[in-house]
Amino acid sequence: MKPKAADSILRIAPYEPGKPIEELAREYGIQSAIKLASNENPLGPSPGAVAAVQESLGRLHRYPDGAAHDLSRRLADHLGVMPENIVLGNGSDELLGMLARVFLQPGDQAVLPRPSFLMYEITVKSAGAEPIFAPLRQADMGLDLKAMKAAIGEKTRMVFLCNPNNPTGTIISRGEFADFMADLPSDILIIADEAYMEFVREPDCFCGLNHLDARPPVVTLRTFSKAYGLAGLRIGYGVMDAEIAGLLHRIRPPFNASIPAQAGALAALDDRAFLQKTLSTVHQGIDFLRAELAAMGLTAFPTQSNFFLVDLGCSAQAVFEKLLEHGVIVRSMRSYGYPQYIRVNAGLPEENQRFLDALKQVLGG
Ligand SMILES: *Cc1c(COP(=O)(O)O)cnc(C)c1O
């Protein structure tokens, strides 16, 4: 006899993360691999954050401030909200889990775009609830808010909006969001996952922070993992109605944001120069890569984020594996339902060039 896992858990397909550089070194003996697979910051972490994390290490014998007094206030200032509207998480992933535990029960449904961030499905299923998938628009791979709205029913408790959408890089316009919100039931929760909002160049992009008082309520999720270069530190946050925040605090592990994470995030917000450099590096990288790929005759889709999809016209999994031999890690979109697409994020100029050179060799040979 073995202990039996919950059926809801057995229905979850494990999350496939981007391949770590160290794994490539172990498996292929390649020491100088580059990774353009997890939408990380090519410049590294914010130097201001690194200094603050180092400075914080002498306090590691203490428990963190469970209320994150300083960081909540600094974030509230930064975003134009109240500290009571903010809940910190061990990455924004943890916020997804908290929201599911508070608002989803077995038998409930949540409406999800597909393809989108795979953690939504895992989170919904882990609460024993049922994901209802709304396919993306075929024309531009954007979220189909009309289809998502049509999928909302009696049992719907939650709707996930990924803006910009991972992996397609598309955004929701303000008008689309306004149409979507009209006449929705007020007892559901709208989750606006804005992990990549800092990279958006389109001024007409919907932003959840402008809808803090909306009915139904909108919970906005943000992270320090991408634009601030702190994915390894694990710190993200949600911005929401204070009453909803209070519910999340009931189940939030009291010390979920570590001392280094709080210190690093606080300093990262002040490191304006790093954010500016990140945005210019990423935007130049995206424009360069898309132009070069188009010149190779490939379709590189438009994006508002730090990554984009490429249609290779052949098996993306095979190309992904051959690129690994060249020490280049990208993401195959097979498990997202796009067997001919890869997802690539902007790297440093030399990394971008190395990816293009490797891709030319792989496709040519
Ligand atoms: C990277 C990412 C996150 C952020 O995850 P963290 O847990 O904050 O590192 C959230 N949502 C999407 C869509 C992402 O791609």
Reported as a single tens digit per residue, the pLDDT across 69-118 is 999 999 999 999 999 999 999 999 999 999 999 999 999 999 999 999 99
pTM of the model: 0.96
User: In this structure, are residues 359 and 195 in contact, taking their beta carbons and an 8 Å threshold?
Assistant: no
Q: How far is CA 155 from CA 64, 98, 143, 147, 186, in A?
A: 39, 19, 21, 16, 13
User: In this structure, are residues 235 and 262 in contact, taking their beta carbons and an 8 Å threshold?
Assistant: yes
Question: Whose CA is closest to 331, among 12, 6, 20, 72?
Answer: 20
For the chain, how many residues are written? 365
Cβ atoms within 10 Å of 296's Cβ, excluding its own: 13
Looking at the CA of residue 226, tell me the nearest atom of ligand 1.
1
Mutate to test the pocket of ligand 1, among 225, 333, 343 (most ligand atoms within 8 A of CB): 225
Spatial strand order of the sheet with 236-239 comes to 86-89, 236-239, 218-223, 189-193, 156-162, 109-114, 130-135
CA dist., res. 331 & res. 342, Å (int): 6
Looking at the CA of residue 234, tell me the nearest atom of ligand 1.
9
How many A from CA of 128 to the centre of ligand 1?
22
CA dist., res. 330 & res. 316, Å (int): 10
Residue nearest to atom 11 of ligand 1 (CA): 195
Characterize 230-248 residue by residue with b for buried, 16 or more Cβ atoms within 10 angstroms of its Cβ, and e for exposed.
bbebbbbbbbbbeebbebb
Pairing of strands 109-114, 130-135: parallel
CA dist., res. 152 & res. 145, Å (int): 11
Looking at the CA of residue 166, tell me the nearest atom of ligand 1.
13
Low-confidence ranges of the chain (pLDDT < 50): none
**Ligand 1 pocket check for 345: Cβ under 6 Å:** no
How many A from CA of 363 to the centre of ligand 1?
31
**Ligand 1 pocket check for 93: Cβ under 6 Å:** yes
Q: What is the pLDDT of residue 365?
A: 65
**Ligand 1 pocket check for 195: Cβ under 6 Å:** yes
Q: What is the largest CA-CA distance in the chain?
A: 60
